[in-house]
Amino acid sequence: MPVEAEELKMTESLISFINEWKEKPGNLIMVLHRVQEEYGYIPRNIAFELGKMLDVPLAKIYGVVTFYHYFKLEKPGKHTVSVCMGTACYLKGGQDLVSELEQLLGVGCGGTTEDKQFSLQAVRCIGCCGLAPVLTIGQEVFGKLTTEMLPEVISKFK
């Protein structure tokens, strides 16, 4: 797991949640979802603490986190740019959007900009097929996009 500059502390609400789920079967995935909800990713030191609290080896936690695409091991940027790659978006230029964003942001898909402002990811269908191609930044949806529109979209978040 990546080394982090800062050591994060578990919040009281997270500790309470873990204790509530401690004895339930299949608890690891539920608890990992809660950790990611709290921090935006799975911090290394929190994973160690989680292992102790649930009596689960770190290797198992790491295995689950790396198996499921949803979980992140690195802190995401302030703004997550998610480009839909579902069928409609892909056919209408979703991959072109990804390629242009990689150039515009200077980061590959799955990466975070050096200034930690943007993370770029390709995602499966987000349910806005009528607006294809679509991307989201946080909770904001942008549809019927062209590569030419991307600088203006990104500038709204700088």
What are the distances in angstroms from CA 132 to CA 113, 126, 127?
25, 10, 10
Say if residue 84 carries a ligand binding annotation: yes
Residue 13 CB neighbours (<10 A): 10
Rounded Cα distance, 142 and 44, in Å:
34
| 109 labelled binding-site residue | no
Ramachandran region, residue 133 (left: φ > 0; alpha: ψ -120 to 50; beta: rest): beta
Beta bridge partners of 83: 122, 135
Which run of H or E residues covers position 82? strand 79-84
125 is in an annotated binding site: yes
> 135: Cβ–Cβ under 8 A, 6 or more apart, which residues?
81, 82, 83, 84, 97, 101, 141, 142, 145, 153
Cβ atoms of residues 96 and 109 within 8 Å: no
Q: Residues annotated as binding site?
A: 84, 89, 125, 129
Q: Residues annotated as binding site for [2Fe-2S] cluster?
A: 84, 89, 125, 129
